[in-house]
Structure 1
C-alpha cells in the first residue's frame, strides 16, 4: 500500500479524478495496535486482489480530510464506488477478518 497525503486525497475527491486513481483508503494511526493488525489483514487480502488500488493515510496528518470524509475512528477502510466517487460508498471500522476484507473489496469489481 502506498501512502497518500490528506491534501492529495481531498484534491482527488474534489476534482473527480479519484475513480481513476484508487479504490479505497486505509486510515490509521501509527501508534494504534488495532490499526497495525488491520493493515496486516488488509495486506493479506490484497494479495488476492492485485488490481485493487488502496492507499493508506495517517489520521494524525489528516485533520481536514477526517472532517471532510466524516471519519469517526481508526482503523477505517473507506471504499469508493467505482461509478460514483462523489462520496464514499462504505466505511469499515472493524477489520473482522481477511475473508471479510477480501469480500468487501472485491464487491462490484466485475
Structure 2
C-alpha cells in the first residue's frame, strides 16, 4: 500500500484509470484492522492495489469527496467518486465489493 498526501491524492484522482484510496486515521482501531485486511488482499494478489491517505492531514480531500467517516475505501475515476465503502466485514466481503475495480485497474494500466 502506497502512502500519499492530500496533494498527491488530488493529482492522482484526475487520471483516467480507477484508483482505490484507503482513507484512515492513525488513531482509529477499526482502521488498523481494515489496513491488515487490505495488506492481505495485496499480498494475495501480488500487487499494490490501494493508496493510503491519512484523513487528519487531508481535510480538503475529505470534504471534496464527502467522506463522512474512517475507514473508507474510495474508488475514484477522472476526479469523480465512483464508490465509497465504509464497512470492512471480512476479506471475502472486500474482494466481492472491490473485485470489479481491482480487475479494471489491472486491465487499464496494462
RMSD over aligned Cα, in angstroms?
1.9
Rate the CA distance shift 1:56–1:24 in 2: closer, same or farther, 3 A.
same
Structure number with the higher helix fraction is: 2
Cα distance in structure 2, aligned partners of 1:43 and 1:51: 10
Cα distance in structure 2, aligned partners of 1:12 and 1:29: 20
The answer to whether the Cα contact below 8 Å between 2:2 and 2:48 also exists between their aligned partners in 1 is: no
- Alignment partner of 1:85 is 2:85: no
TM-score (norm 1): 0.82
Cα distance in structure 2, aligned partners of 1:46 and 1:18: 22
Task: Give structure 1 stretches of 5+ with no counterpart.
Answer: none
After TM superposition, list the pairs within 5 Å mapping 1:1-110 onto structure 2. 1-13=1-13, 16-17=14-15, 19=17, 23-51=19-47, 53-80=49-76, 84-108=77-101, 109=103
Cα distance in structure 1, aligned partners of 2:23 and 2:10: 14
TM-score (norm 2): 0.82
User: How far off its partner does 1:52 sit?
Assistant: 5.3
Rate the CA distance shift 1:40–1:93 in 2: closer, same or farther, 3 A.
same
Number of positions where the alignment pairs a residue of Structure 1 with one of Structure 2: 103
Task: Give structure 2 stretches of 5+ with no counterpart.
Answer: 105-110
User: Which whole-Å deviations, capped at 9, do the CAs of 1:12-58 have from their partners, x for residues lacking one?
Assistant: 33xx3252xx6200010001000000111111122233345211000
